[in-house]
Amino acid sequence: MSKNVLILPGDGIGPEIVAEAVKVLNVVNNKFDLGLTLEEGLVGGSAYDVHGTPLPEETMTKAKASDAILLGAVGGPKWDNLEDRELRPEKGLLGLRSGLELFGNLRPAILYPQLADASSLKPEIVSGLDILIVRELTGGIYFGKPRGIRTLENGEREGYNTYVYSESEIRRIAKVAFESARKRNKKLCSVDKANVLEVTVLWREILEEVGKEYPDVELSHMYVDNAAMQLVRAPKQFDVMVTGNMFGDILSDAAAMLTGSIGMLPSASLDKDNKGMYEPCHGSAPDIAGQGIANPLATILSAAMMLRYSLNEVAAADAIEEAVSKVLDQGLRTADIFSDGMKKVSTEEMGEAVVAAL
Ligand X SMILES: CC(C)[C@H](C(=O)O)[C@@H](O)C(=O)O
195-254 residues near ligand X, rule: CB under 6 A: 195-196, 225, 249
Residue 208 binds a copy of itself, judged by CB under 8 A: no
From the list a copy of itself, ligand X, none, partner contacted by residue 358 (C-beta under 5 to 8 A by kind):
none
Which of 107/275 has CB closer to ligand X? 107
Which of 14/211 has CB closer to ligand X? 14
Residue 253 appears among annotated catalytic residues: yes
Q: By CB under 6 A, which span of 18-26, 63-71, 86-94, 169-177 interacts with ligand X?
A: 86-94
Residues making up the binding site for substrate: 97, 107, 135, 225
Give the nearest distance from C-beta 283 to a copy of itself in angstroms.
8
283-342 residues near a copy of itself, rule: CB under 8 A: 283
Residue 295 gets which letter from DSSP?
A: -
Specify whether the backbone of 262 is left (phi greater than 0), alpha (psi in -120 to 50) or beta. alpha
CB 278 within 8 A of CB 71: yes
94-123 residues near a copy of itself, rule: CB under 8 A: 94, 120-122
CB 299 within 8 A of CB 17: yes
CB 10 within 8 A of CB 71: yes
Q: By CB under 8 A, which span of 22-30, 258-266, 319-327, 348-356 interacts with a copy of itself?
A: 258-266
CB 136 within 8 A of CB 101: no
In the set 49, 90, 101, 348, which binds a copy of itself (CB under 8 A)?
A: 90
Cis peptide before 146 (omega within 30 of 0): yes
Which of 94/303 has CB closer to ligand X? 94
User: Please, which contacts does 58-65 make with residues 24 or more away whose CB atoms are closer than 8 Å?
Assistant: 59/8, 59/92, 59/96, 60/95, 60/96, 60/99, 62/6, 63/6, 63/96, 63/99, 63/100, 63/277, 64/99, 64/100, 65/4
Q: Note the residues at the interface with ligand X (CB under 6 A).
A: 75, 90, 93-94, 195-196, 225, 249
